[in-house]
């Protein structure tokens, strides 16, 4: 089946299960499930039930799609995403974003755990993503372009919506949440970076580095969605002495920052 038909089939399956028409989609990163508690959930669908959906394999990634309301606004929320390092193709990694778009989602909010490549950052900081650098080895839009999904050569000059960035900054100030703004670099992983790589990532303009988000944002922009992304800084790679980074520490730091992120995203959705 061609991609367009696959997307339509999956969206049709989901549509007959739900009673709502969410215009906001949220993808939660590792250890950032806290937001699920804030959503007034109507239905949860396991990824394993959804036709054409890959199955999530990583610890800390739930693998469920939730539909419900946040402050009365209909949202859909994905707990568990697909990463290129798991072996999925870029088409698989970004398929859920295509399905969200087909379901009527206009605004996509993404969160992730990321390593800090800016030495001014601290573990536990939230960083609004203002731009990205795509260093993934494969592009999600490589290959035949189906014009029904978006243009052949999408503009990326404003990938992250400036209005949403400003709104998130206002909310953070009001709530007393200290917030950073920076550039996220997307790599394939699954290794964390070497000290020389963290340094290089900083030199080329990165403030944070991670293994997700960038392909999803590209596909969201291809489809004309508004995008907002926020990173939790779970480790600081840039340092004069080697810093050992483990997945457990990343999850722990993400979990610790999850309530802060949930508060920010909830307030953002309310004011969209």
Give contact residues for ligand HPA (rule: CB under 6 A). Answer: 113-115, 189, 192-193, 209-211, 234-235, 237, 245, 250
Q: What are phi and psi of 232, to 5 degrees?
A: -100, 125
* Token pair in block for residue 143: 């290959």
* Token pair in block for residue 110: 């993404």
Contact 35, 77 (CB under 8 A): yes
Chain centre to alpha carbon of residue 158: 17
Contact 76, 24 (CB under 8 A): yes
Q: Which is nearer to ligand HPA, 87 or 190 (CB)?
A: 190
Contact 80, 63 (CB under 8 A): yes
| Shortest spacing between CB 115 and ligand HPA, in angstroms | 2
Which residue number places its CB atom closest to ligand HPA? Answer: 115
- Neighbour-count burial of 173, counting CB atoms closer than 10 A to its CB (0-12 exposed, 13-18 middle, 19+ buried): exposed
Strand partners, 232: 113, 126
| Shortest spacing between CB 187 and ligand HPA, in angstroms | 6
| Shortest spacing between CB 190 and ligand HPA, in angstroms | 9
Q: Which is nearer to ligand HPA, 9 or 123 (CB)?
A: 123
Cite the DSSP H helix spans in the chain: 3-15, 35-38, 90-102, 162-175, 195-203, 214-222, 247-270
Contact 206, 198 (CB under 8 A): no
| Shortest spacing between CB 206 and ligand HPA, in angstroms | 10
| Shortest spacing between CB 99 and ligand HPA, in angstroms | 25
Q: Which is nearer to ligand HPA, 89 or 246 (CB)?
A: 246
Q: Which is nearer to ligand HPA, 96 or 115 (CB)?
A: 115
Residue reference for tokens 């909830």: 266
| Shortest spacing between CB 246 and ligand HPA, in angstroms | 10
Q: Which is nearer to ligand HPA, 67 or 84 (CB)?
A: 84
Q: Which is nearer to ligand HPA, 62 or 189 (CB)?
A: 189
């Amino acid at each position: 089946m061609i991609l367009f038909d696959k997307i339509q089939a999956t969206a049709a399956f989901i549509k007959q299960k739900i009673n709502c028409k969410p215009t906001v989609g949220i993808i939660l990163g590792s250890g950032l499930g806290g937001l699920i508690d804030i959503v007034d959930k109507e239905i949860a669908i396991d990824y394993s039930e959804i036709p054409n959906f890959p199955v999530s394999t990583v610890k800390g990634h739930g693998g469920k799609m939730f539909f419900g309301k946040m402050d009365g606004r209909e949202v859909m929320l994905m707990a568990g995403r697909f990463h290129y390092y798991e072996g999925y193709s870029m088409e698989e990694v970004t398929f859920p974003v295509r399905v969200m778009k087909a379901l009527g989602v206009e605004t996509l909010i993404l969160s992730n755990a990321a390593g800090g490549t800016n030495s001014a950052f601290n573990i536990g900081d939230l960083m609004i993503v203002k731009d990205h650098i795509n260093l993934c080895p494969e592009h999600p839009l490589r290959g035949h372009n189906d014009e029904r999904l978006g243009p052949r050569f999408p503009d990326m000059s404003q990938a992250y919506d400036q209005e949403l960035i400003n709104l998130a900054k206002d909310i953070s100030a009001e709530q007393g949440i200290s917030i950073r703004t920076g550039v996220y670099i997307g790599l394939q992983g699954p290794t964390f970076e070497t000290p020389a790589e963290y340094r290089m990532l900083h030199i080329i303009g990165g403030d944070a580095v991670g293994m997700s988000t960038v392909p999803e944002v590209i596909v969201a922009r291809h489809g004309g969605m508004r995008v907002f992304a926020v990173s939790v800084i779970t480790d600081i790679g840039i340092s004069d002495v080697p810093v050992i980074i483990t997945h457990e520490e990343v999850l722990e730091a993400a979990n610790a920052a999850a309530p802060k992120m949930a508060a920010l995203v909830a307030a953002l959705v309310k004011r969209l």
